[in-house]
Structure 1
Amino acid sequence: MRKISVVLIVLLLIPMSGLWAGGNDEKAGDDKVVFGIIPSSMSDEWNGYSVENFKYAAAKKGVEVVVLDPEWDGERAQNNLEDLITRGVDHVGVYVYTPEQAQDFINRANEAGVPISFENTKLVGSISGDIVANVAFEYYDFGYEAAKYISQTYPGSKLFYVRGLPGMGIVEEYMRGIEDAIKEFGTIEMTVYRDTSWDTETALNATQDVIASGEKFDVIFANNESMAVGCYNALKDAGMDGDIPIVSTGGGPTGVQMLKDGIIQATIAGPVSLQGLYLFKAMYLYTVKGITPPETYIEPPGVQAITLENLDDNIPWAPSDDLIEMIGGLDSW
């Protein structure tokens, strides 16, 4: 498997101040290294595969991983941080959706003197305090690639965007990317969008409402593959399945099967496997070897439109040594 170079972008934060001993000197070889991970929910496929890749890399290096699952409960996630601090873990990794959420974790971790890193959401210019690494895709890229694919594949179409929930900064970045691509290619228009709670049921309801309203659309872009299922079911109930193509985001095992089953025609793939591996690499090198990432913000590669025709180009989500090789191994930047 080919090796892909990581895209690193400067994150302007308060410089590391020597607050954490692990970042200054190489950790003694006899000390057991323990990392704490706080996901949003292990029931979420995207989040779950990130953690599985993190644990896979940790096993390679003999690092113990404590995963405390808040199951979408923000207050419980904060309690999990307190638990990890009490346990004396060497470094905490947190999956976040908003800079505001991240800031609460930063304040407490800095106060306790525990190194902290983040994944999933780009925090550039939106936080203060000390963090080691921020590993995240650009949501803008997903929106741009989706609208680019639709513009090139379905010119003249009217786009129905089935969005997730605004207010987290995610949908907003998707919209920027979509609008830029529509303007750049000039072959489609977005005629309608509806907000959902990121799940199958609310996506089904949103699609049914638009169908009932009589608003015209020729193609659907759904913010994730669970939502795409709801869109498909609504189309099927209305006798429109097969007439309206659906594009989604993801590229994991569920999405690949949906492509094969004809439920979606394309997915804008992002290899969350690499997100989890980069998070572990940053935490490991900092904690064990005293090596800070070259830049705080680490953007994994691989966002691309995947269809049945180029399915072999999709970067897998399942952990493997090949994926570790793709990020340049675990021992140096």
Structure 2
Amino acid sequence: MKKLLLTAGLTALISTTAMAETIGVSIARFDDNFLTVMRNGMEDHAATLDGVDLQVEDATDDVAKQLDQINNFVASGVDAIIVNIVDTSAADAMTAAAESAGVPLVYVNREPTNVDSLPDNQAFVASNEIESGTLKAFQICQNLRAEGKSGGAKAYMLMGQLSNQAAIQRSKDVEDVLAMDMCNFIELVDKQTAEWSRDKAQDLMTNWLSSGEPFDAVFANNDEMAIGAIQAMKASGIDMADVQVGGVDATQDALQAMQSGDLDVTVFQDANGQGAGSVDAALALARGEDVDQKVYIPFKLVTPDNIDDFLGKN
């Protein structure tokens, strides 16, 4: 009887061990508000799943470091890998490292340049960036027309890191909207990268303000840069009621700025949803299940009219 119980216990232990699943996660940078919410979404979701363990690493915006992290995950025998990529053009090496080891890989939030040629055991979970900049730019266009400025308006654009597909696409979205007959009254005075940073955006906006060029709107690729621009304008004594400012992400700081009357438009990008979705996709791939290679979580326009629907979400 004791031998039988021991055998049964050992079988249970082996079964439990076999069910345990480990996912290695490499995040581009921890010191980013949106990515922090996304990371928390991953960890919170994994905590609700039996036997799922996340090993989360900070790539500190270093491409080589991130590739090392992926190789280390492979060497340690993880069941799957999730990557929030530092430089979207560096995906080929990361895809190859995981593919050669037979380890499933999921890119999250930032679209890799090889997204259309990913192997069967790799996927991409994010939101469709064509929506983000388009929703923001079109709403600002409508707002300017409502203010009676359809006869001519000027704007600046703050871009994210140009190594990121999101920055390139969101900027193109704005320019495409401004090329529409309805919105071509808006002239883009200048566009420069502030690398997703609030501080760098504040410095860049301060430089633009020093030129004395009149303007009516600021398009920012993300909320952090929109807030930096707002801080610079307020420091210069500009009445925020006179300038339309739009960002992307609907972070809590951005929503507070909107409630204060400083930010006019943002676009909700579901950080928690992307985080949880990437964990689900990684587990499904690790279990040999079918997964859509592109999993899109919709963007949603946020204005003062519907802000209450988004408070507390990012």
Tell me the TM-score normalized by structure 2. Answer: 0.84
Paired residues of 1:191 and 1:217 also in contact (CA < 8 A): no
Distance in 2 (CA, whole Å) between partners of 1:261 and 1:71 is 33
Q: Within the alignment, does 1:297 sit opposite 2:294 as a pair? A: yes
- Which residue, 84, 105, 112 being the options, matches 2:101? 112
Q: Within the alignment, does 1:144 sit opposite 2:134 as a pair? A: yes
Q: Per-residue CA shift, 1:29-70, capped at 9, x if unaligned?
A: 642111111001122111111121112221221211110112
Q: Per-residue CA shift, 1:218-242, capped at 9, x if unaligned?
A: 1112222221222112212221132
Aligned residue identity for 1:151 = C
Aligned residues: 288
Q: What is the percentage of aligned positions where both structures have the same residue? A: 22
- 1:224 corresponds in structure 2 to 222
Q: In the TM superposition, what is the alpha-carbon distance from 1:308 to its structure 2 partner?
A: 2.5
Q: Write 1 or 2 for the structure with the bigger share of helix.
A: 2
| CA 1:191–1:124: 2 relative to 1, 3 Å | closer
Q: Per-residue CA shift, 1:246-287, capped at 9, x if unaligned?
A: 211111222222222333122122112111121111112222
Q: Per-residue CA shift, 1:6-43, capped at 9, x if unaligned?
A: xxxxxxxxxxxxxxxxxxxxxx6642111111001122
Aligned residue identity for 2:64 = E
- 1:253 corresponds in structure 2 to 252
Aligned residue identity for 2:83 = V
Aligned residue identity for 1:215 = E
Q: Per-residue CA shift, 1:114-141, capped at 9, x if unaligned?
A: 1111111234755645242211222222
Paired residues of 1:93 and 1:117 also in contact (CA < 8 A): yes
Aligned residue identity for 1:281 = D
Distance in 2 (CA, whole Å) between partners of 1:136 and 1:122 is 8
- Which residue, 64, 67, 92 being the options, matches 2:53? 64
RMSD: 2.2
Asked which structure has the greater CA Rg, the reply is 2
| CA 1:141–1:213: 2 relative to 1, 3 Å | same
Q: In the TM superposition, what is the alpha-carbon distance from 1:191 to its structure 2 partner?
A: 2.5
- 1:52 corresponds in structure 2 to 40
Paired residues of 1:191 and 1:216 also in contact (CA < 8 A): no
Q: How does 1:83-94 map to 2 (within 5 A)?
A: 83-94=72-83
Tell me the TM-score normalized by structure 1. Answer: 0.79
Q: Which has the higher contact order (CA 8 A, sep 6+)?
A: 1
Q: Within the alignment, does 1:180 sit opposite 2:179 as a pair? A: no
- 1:264 corresponds in structure 2 to 263
Distance in 2 (CA, whole Å) between partners of 1:123 and 1:70 is 16
| CA 1:125–1:114: 2 relative to 1, 3 Å | closer
| CA 1:35–1:167: 2 relative to 1, 3 Å | closer
Gaps of 5+ in 1: 1-27, 319-333
Aligned residue identity for 2:289 = I
- 1:162 corresponds in structure 2 to 158
Q: Within the alignment, does 1:78 sit opposite 2:67 as a pair? A: yes
